[in-house]
Amino acid sequence: MTGRSDPIAATRHGRVQGNLEGGVLVFRGVRYGADTRPVRFARAASPKAWTDVRPAQNYAPAAPQTHALEPTSEDCLFLNIWTPGLDQARRPVMVYLHGGAHAHGSGSDPLYDGCNLVLRGDVVVLTLNHRLAGFGYGYFANLGGPAESGNVGNLDICMALEWVRDNIAAFGGDPARVMIFGQSGGGAKVVSLMAMEQARPLFHSAATMSGQHVTAIGPMNATRRASAWMAAVGAPDFDRFREMPMERLVEAMGGPDPIEGKGEISFASTLDHRALKRHPFYPDAPVEAADIPLIIGNTHDETGYWLAATLKAGDTTWDNLVPRITGQIVKDVDPQWLVENYRKLYPTHTPGQLLLAMSTATRSWPGHLVQAEMRARQGTDNAPSPTWMYQLDFPAPEAGCVLGAFHTLDIGLVFANTHLASARTGATVEAAELAAHMADAFIRLARHGDPNGGNLPQWPRYTLERRETMIFDRAISVERDPRGEERKLLAPITYIKPGG
């Protein structure tokens, strides 16, 4: 490097120049893969080396996606790095995989800024862009396309992790202590990577935050979705489809899903028997990943994120509760039976509060329980699996806390970025104190493979006997089997991921 104000780091492909921001060295838009347009739907190529010093002060384009909020391009394989120094300190490395249901987002959201994690924990933080939606997870193996097409988004992440392995020492990081963590779709990518042979050697600890995937998309349903996408643009075969303009392909992804009959065409990790040879948590947790320390987290009121307008309106009544919950259920359970039993569990709840509780328990919560239970079965009472469960109960302050602790609320806490309005935690002392605990726990997992330490209560590993879960709230505590009566009520009803 030339100096802290204009840091220059050497990668195996060439030198890059970043910025000094608040005492942290920041490199944005560092290339880890070549332009994907020439290899659309296939494995990406490594970038060609360069001899000049490439600027790394600005974020690079996001992957092609519908409803994009930033510039997009098929030339999207870039990552961002926050580090205390370009030295030989060999710090833990925390690689964040963004959410967005495998279809939206990027690593450049201000909420993912790594400066505060770096300053708190003397770690190196990375975010990255990779191919999304049909470009990253469209499965064309049975339609004349590449065999790996249903998982090239995950293979891009593998390429980024290989870049970390080969280059992160030059940025003060330790390639032998790499943690991956992600929220929602990012958490789903985490557990999919744990099931992938190519990915597992590239990281050493992991955390999934509201990433409730148990199964990947099966190859037959994935083929139906790819066929629907081709039909939407009028392509008679894969070769012509592959050559169509990016903008036309993106527009066509916005049509309804051919299996679920709603939303956009749904693309995600695919059980292709090649890159991904098994489901993440079916029929069990992958034994090859059993020794990888894993945090599994969820928020108490996940569906408050999607039901915000309804909950704020406050117009849910006993008369319309059954039809409203019918539209939210993922588990195949009779809505009337569900309402009757939840009214017995929570006799003082309002209809709106029951809507929030029931929708979370039958839509977003089940996958997390399956993940934790499958991991717990890999251990014993004397030697539990290295798995820790948390539940965020800290409510968002907006609208009188009516949304509860909703989906995404833990992101700003884990990044210690509660001062940002987009965190939605409120820029309060309480939120900052909770963020300190959560961020430090994640940092300790990256450093030691165990989140325990500091002022946090002792966090036991998750077992089927005790089901001990860290409750992150204004007062932090460990609770045995939180919402246990709900769990027991719904346990006989199989969880099946829609459209899987």
Task: Going from the first residue of the chain to its last (500 residues), give the mean pLDDT of each consecutive group of 10, the final group possibly shorter.
Answer: 74 97 97 98 97 97 96 98 96 97 96 97 98 98 97 98 98 98 96 96 97 92 97 96 97 93 93 96 94 97 96 97 92 92 97 97 90 93 90 96 97 98 97 98 98 96 96 98 96 72
Using alpha carbons only, what angle is made at residue 201 by residues 112 and 134, rounded to the nearest 5 degrees? 55
122 burial class (0-12, 13-18, 19+ CB within 10 angstroms)? middle
- Does residue 209 lie in a domain region? yes
Q: How far is CA 135 from CA 30, 175, 188, 235, 328, in A?
A: 21, 29, 18, 16, 29
- Does residue 240 lie in a domain region? no
User: 300 and 189, same structural domain?
Assistant: no
User: 280 and 366, same structural domain?
Assistant: no
Query: How many of the other CB atoms lie within 10 Å of CB of 331?
Result: 15
- Does residue 311 lie in a domain region? yes
- For residue 261, the model assigns a pLDDT of 87
Comparing CA positions, the residue from 37, 12, 15, 17 lying closest to residue 27 is 17
Comparing CA positions, the residue from 193, 188, 198, 135 lying closest to residue 500 is 188
- For residue 327, the model assigns a pLDDT of 87
- Does residue 61 lie in a domain region? yes
Give the residues across from 376 on adjacent strands. none
User: 312 and 211, same structural domain?
Assistant: no
User: 280 and 132, same structural domain?
Assistant: yes
User: 131 and 107, same structural domain?
Assistant: yes
**Can you say how many angstroms the Cα of residue 64 is from the centroid of all Cα atoms in its chain?**
18
Choosing from 184, 205, 210, 385, the catalytic residue is: 184
- For residue 10, the model assigns a pLDDT of 96
As a whole number of angstroms, the distance between CA 255 and CA 258 comes to 9
Give the residues across from 206 on adjacent strands. 180, 294
Q: How far is CA 83 from CA 21, 171, 180, 188, 298, in A?
A: 10, 7, 16, 26, 28
User: 308 and 186, same structural domain?
Assistant: no
Instruction: Note down the domain range covering 140.
Output: 8-217+272-292
Q: Is 192 a catalytic residue?
A: no
- For residue 331, the model assigns a pLDDT of 75
- For residue 330, the model assigns a pLDDT of 79
pTM greater than 0.75: yes
- For residue 135, the model assigns a pLDDT of 98
The last residue of one of the domains, among 264, 292, 320, is: 292
The label of the residue with tokens 């104000």 reads 5
As a whole number of angstroms, the distance between CA 383 and CA 290 comes to 12
As a whole number of angstroms, the distance between CA 91 and CA 93 comes to 6
Q: What is the CATH number of the domain that holds 437?
A: 3.40.50.1820
Rg of the chain on CA atoms, in Å: 22
User: 128 and 54, same structural domain?
Assistant: yes
For residues 199 and 191, is the Cβ–Cβ distance under 8 A? Answer: no
User: 25 and 55, same structural domain?
Assistant: yes
Domain count along the chain:
2
For residues 139 and 222, is the Cβ–Cβ distance under 8 A? Answer: yes
